[in-house]
Amino acid sequence: MSQRVLVTAGASGIGLAIAKAFAATGDRVHIADVDPEAVRAALAENPSLSASVGDVSRAADVDAMMADVREHLGGLDVLVSNAGIAGPTAPVEEYDPEAWNAVVTVNLTGSFEVVRKAVPLLKENGRGTILVMSSLAGRVGYPNRIAYATTKWGLVGFTKTLSLELGPHGITVNSIHPGGVEGPRLDRVFEGRAAVSGRTVEQERQAALDNQAIKSFTAPADIAALAVFLAGPAARTISGQQFSIDGDSKAAQ
């Protein structure tokens, strides 16, 4: 049965891969993203999608997003709360408080705002799915990335609490925890690590692979396939869980 899906930060990277995977199954998909150019490019490439431009940390933008979802989809069955920012790479004593606030505002407050406004739509159906994008940094410590790790751990508690609240309404809630995901964002992570460690970018890349049982980084399409499964009929009693997709990484370095 076709589902109505909202993917935040859905115009590029993991979010766009998830949107395309749901659309490929025949689902109707709405993406939301803060980057208008990325939204235009995503819609040009994938005309079956609908879209909103907005910042998840701004309540007015989230209200507009949900109005668009209602207009384009007529309701909501699946929410993929994917929007988040990484923040800088720096030791805690040098970490910019404004950067801390920005990461917390987008990653935690933004997730809260989107879920808060999406739940009434999901409850209309008597069932639904929420997928919260956490990280490898949401299950281990992450040196020099204090705000990112703190927010990604916070999303675990967010997920667990939502699972308990929303389970009686037939709504499952799970978190997905990618490790290194191939693409420009991972390249920037290694560049940031190299700037702090004094090693080369290639040395940082190799150190990350040495930390994994599976010696390759994850493709966005594999994360998308996991999301489609967790929103599907075989996962209706899977809730409150953390799904790592990280090559069995031992640490976030």
**Catalytic positions:** 148
Report the alpha-carbon distance of residue 222 to residue 166 in Å, rounded.
27
Give the three-class secondary structure for 47: coil
Full 3-state SS string of the chain = CCCEEEEECCCCHHHHHHHHHHHHCCCEEEEEECCHHHHHHHHHHCCCCEEEECCCCCHHHHHHHHHHHHHHHCCCCEEEECCCCCCCCCCHHHCCHHHHHHHHHHHHHHHHHHHHHHHHHHHCCCCEEEEEECCHHHCCCCCCCHHHHHHHHHHHHHHHHHHHHHHHHCEEEEEEEECCECCHHHHHHHHHHHHHHCCCHHHHHHHHHHCECCCCCECHHHHHHHHHHHCCHHHCCCCCCEEEECCCECCCC
Report the alpha-carbon distance of residue 185 to residue 189 in Å, rounded.
6
DSSP letter assigned to residue 200 = -
How big, in percent rounded to 5, are the helix, strand and coil portions of the chain? 50, 15, 30
